[in-house]
A = this chain, B = another copy of it.
């Protein structure tokens, strides 16, 4: 069986380069592209599990349920899921629930009846009980559906703690937390991390506003808040989308970031570094979240035992220019 190593050797490039080529991720020179394509052809290379899957499996479809693919967190996640699925011979069906129960149920039911091998679920419109009763393998990603369902997530409490501690270390005295949706577990964990940290700093004031993970809503709410709370000098936003809304609000009010107001987001989406100032954020390893969830799901689909039902990846503070 020809392996990715053989392709690299034959083409005279590293395995990492071949992998970048196969996944279409990251920079690769035209030169390298050419020699790799030549090597693949000459060696008749096929991603190994792919060939196996195509000949032995009845279905190789993975359903990926997301709330909304236009929220910039999800395309990055979807790309990782699809890259991993692809190299393992699976295909991804994209399902936007639009945060509608009926639509989520429709997708789960029709995929179950028809062809899916399993699901990755990044939504949680339904009761835990519903997910538990799904007969196909299922993995929860960035959401906790039920303790019985394997879950891949980031340690959100730790992440929020790091962000809050950092704002305080950089001198903030009046911190606003832009909390995400009430009842959404990742948002609740980040909120908990913030609140628990603030308990240790009785001399620092804090306040909370709540917003859906939506630019426009966050912008409006932070704008209204800052207008009447000029003394606020730090914002911890529970997602980068919220932070971007907050940044827009500050710009509209001519509040200087980071001079007058420091801002930390959460997620680490690519857009954060395209802003001015670039966004300091608690980064999740989005690509790895997607990869890990997909690998877990494939293990389940292929009948392997899963040892650990909770995979929690660490969050890391990425310091850019929205903090001093």
Contact = CB atoms under 8 A, between A and B. Distances in A.
Interface of A: 21-25, 37, 40, 50, 54, 61, 64, 67-70, 72, 74-76, 78-79, 82-83, 86, 91-103, 106-107, 110-111, 115, 215, 244, 247-248, 251, 270-271, 274-276
A82 B69 contact: yes
B93 A92 contact: yes
A91 B63 CA distance: 10
A92 B107 CA distance: 11
Most buried by B among A24, A40, A110, A215: A24
B69 A100 contact: no
Nearest to A107: B91
B68 A79 contact: yes
A195 to B, nearest CB: 25
A101 B275 contact: no
Given A79-B70, A92-B93, A102-B37, A244 B86 contact: no
A93 B24 contact: no
A247 B276 CA distance: 9
Contacts of A215: 270, 274
Given A75-B75, A275-B276, A22 B96 contact: no
A6 B78 CA distance: 36
Nearest to A257: B276
Contacts of A111: 91
A271 B244 CA distance: 10
Given A54-B110, A100-B22, A111-B91, A75 B83 contact: no
Nearest to A61: B93
Enumerate the 10 nearest inter-chain pairs by beta-carbon distance, A residue then B residue, closest first: A24-B98, A94-B94, A69-B75, A75-B75, A70-B75, A70-B79, A24-B100, A251-B276, A93-B93, A244-B274
Contacts of A110: 54, 91
Contacts of A74: 75
A79 B96 contact: yes
Contacts of A106: 50, 86
A83 to B, nearest CB: 7
Given A69-B69, A79-B96, A275-B276, 14 more contacts: A24-B99, A25-B98, A37-B101, A54-B110, A74-B75, A82-B94, A82-B95, A92-B93, A93-B94, A215-B274, A248-B274, A248-B276, A251-B276, A274-B275
Contact of A94 (B21, B92, B97, B103): B92
11 contacts: A21-B100, A23-B98, A24-B67, A25-B98, A54-B110, A68-B79, A69-B82, A72-B75, A78-B94, A83-B96, A91-B110
Contact of A40 (B23, B24, B72, B102): B102
Nearest to A244: B274
